[in-house]
Amino acid sequence: MSEHAVTSGRATPTPTTESAHYRSGLADVDQSGRPAFILTRTEIKLLGIAGVGFFLDAYDLFIINPVATMLQYRLYGGGHLPPNLEGFMKAGANIGSVIGQFAFGYAADALGRKAVYGKELMLIILATILTMTTPTGTLSPDNALIYLAVFRILLGIGVGGDYPMSASITSDRSNLRKRGTMLAYIFSNQGWGSFMGSLITIIVLAAYKGVMEGKGQTSKVDGVWRIVVGVSLVPAFGTLYQRLTLPESTRFLASQKLKNANAREEGDAIAELKRAQLGEDARMGNLNGPVDEKVGADAKGEEEPSSSSSLEDENAAPPEVLVKKKAHFSDFIKYFSNWKHGKMLLGTCMCWFLLDIAFYGINLNQNVVLQQIGYDGAEGTPWQRLFKISTGNMIVTALGFVPGYYASILTIEKLGRKWIQIQGFLMAALFLAILAGKFETLSKPAFIVCFALLQFFFNFGANTTTYCYPAEVFPTRFRATAHGVSAAAGKAGAIVSALAFNTLSKDIGTPACLWIFFGCCIAGAGFTLLLPEVRNRDPDLILAEEIKEAREAMERQTADVVAGR
């Protein structure tokens, strides 16, 4: 079906591919003339509101590495943490994330984004405060780790809930031409979260140097990790009010009209979707001039929204409540029982699962990498060791994480999600193979370069696009739930790595584990082939057309029966 086939509300099949041609007539309405990565003020505001969740995600998930090292000195006299408890503590947030991704994803579709958004941030705040109260002085060392791990599970529920919530909030409001860029910007905050986690650790350690080095009070490290964890409360409190008061998007409300409508009303629903997108484009500052004739026809003479509107103006958008029937799990099952839709969910789930086995297997156990590059803190006083580990973590993040994210931001609308994901998987597999095959013989500079390139292609690749894909390929009605299911599959992979890597690396060696990660990346590239390219693709219009065509087919069948044919 061509890109113009949906403008009249009538299906006009043509022999074109499904992906990029199912787009709104508003896909090219952005009249600003700016590149996709140049954002409007309103888009920057949305980026700040939604992006803080991924900043906290990386900060809280990756900060556990230096915290675990600090707890060695506070609880075990510098000795290693018990392997099982260390694995449980590192996996705790990911275990909670699976719960949060399912629960918040479903709730966002069933109850609406406005009713749910902000609650996940409240959970993050509560869990962070409870984590800081870990009574290391009164509980036994093992019980203190269990206490910490339990509240990190609660933290993970909030962090996990942020995945489908922020993805849906952003996708609902984005111009199709900039949707992937907006999502990539949101996700790039993960790199900054990891970077700031290392930087804050270095700053707090520097403040404690006199006590820990000069006076030899190593137990003061207990204060270091609590401060480092507590700093994450600042951005969390800073955006809580904005999340709780963010109004519902008009696109989400319009998408609810796709339910229980007859064939003629489906045509109206298509026009409603386009009017909703037009409204969002105006509110996000992407309409700087008069709307072209085609869009004006799509809007059916409706008065154009003012381009000076902002996020807060959505309160006055649709006076009526369009969500008349809650999204039920049976609707979700029915939709994805169709292989045409189910294979896309399988693709997003498996790609994210396979990616996170490799990605978290490397990053939750980064001490192995730091050992290879000489920043594992194997020598010196406890303070010197901790400072060196944090410096090594910041180097690794600066070399690979942040540049990879911004390479995705700058190219995602040009290269497309599918190309970036496949090349990212394959390039990551290449560097994993080099690391695995030459693990003992690579020089320190060669190892650093190889590992930095591995991190770069994780982030200029599947780590970014596995987040973007579920927010772009699925219709608004099922977007948050499908994103939550996909993200939960990814976190399942992270849990496998967190629980199994330490044991496996001792049993079969680190190079063998890296070969396993290599296989995961190759398989991930294969599963990407199940997914369409989603650049400029409007899944809501696809769903509207599918429903309308199915109803028209039923009407024809009914007419044939009545006519006795």
Give tens-digit pLDDT for 226-271: 999 999 999 999 999 999 998 888 888 877 766 544 444 444 555 6
In order of 54, 75, 87, the CA distances from 90 in angstroms are: 18, 17, 5
Kind plus residue range of the DSSP H or E element containing 559: helix 539-562
CA–CA distance, 467 with 474 (Å, rounded to integer): 12
Q: Which of 288, 155, 300, 162 is nearest to 233 (CA)?
A: 155
Out of 1.25.40.10, 2.40.50.430, 1.20.1250.20, 3.70.10.10, the CATH code matching 41-247+334-534 is 1.20.1250.20
* Cβ contact 267:245 at 8 Å: no
pTM of the model: 0.81
**Would you call 289 helix, strand, or coil by DSSP?**
coil
Question: What's the pLDDT score for residue 298?
Answer: 43
CA–CA distance, 474 with 160 (Å, rounded to integer): 19
Please give the average pLDDT of every successive group of 10 residues along the chain, which has 565 residues.
38 40 44 70 88 86 83 84 81 88 92 90 94 89 91 92 92 87 91 88 91 80 91 92 88 70 48 60 54 42 39 40 50 88 95 92 69 70 84 78 87 94 96 90 83 90 94 91 94 83 75 91 96 90 80 76 69
Q: Which of 180, 5, 106 is nearest to 541 (CA)?
A: 5
Q: What count of other Cβ atoms lies within 10 Å of the Cβ of residue 77?
A: 9
Domain ranges of the chain: 41-247+334-534, 250-316+541-562
Question: What's the pLDDT score for residue 33?
Answer: 62
Q: What is the pLDDT of residues 433-485, one digit of tens each?
A: 999 898 888 887 888 888 889 989 999 999 999 999 999 999 988 999 999 99
Question: What's the pLDDT score for residue 280?
Answer: 59
Kind plus residue range of the DSSP H or E element containing 362: helix 339-363
Q: What count of other Cβ atoms lies within 10 Å of the Cβ of residue 452?
A: 21
Question: What's the pLDDT score for residue 527?
Answer: 97
Q: What percent of the chain has pLDDT over 70?
A: 78
Three-state SS annotation for 390-433 = HHHHHHHHHHHHHHHHHHHHHHHHHHCHHHHHHHHHHHHHHHHH
**1: which 2 tokens?**
């079906």
In order of 425, 475, 540, 547, the CA distances from 553 in angstroms are: 42, 22, 20, 10
Which residues lie below 8 Å from residue 100, measured CB to CB, with a gap of 6+?
120, 123, 156, 157, 158, 159, 160, 161, 162, 163
CA–CA distance, 51 with 53 (Å, rounded to integer): 5
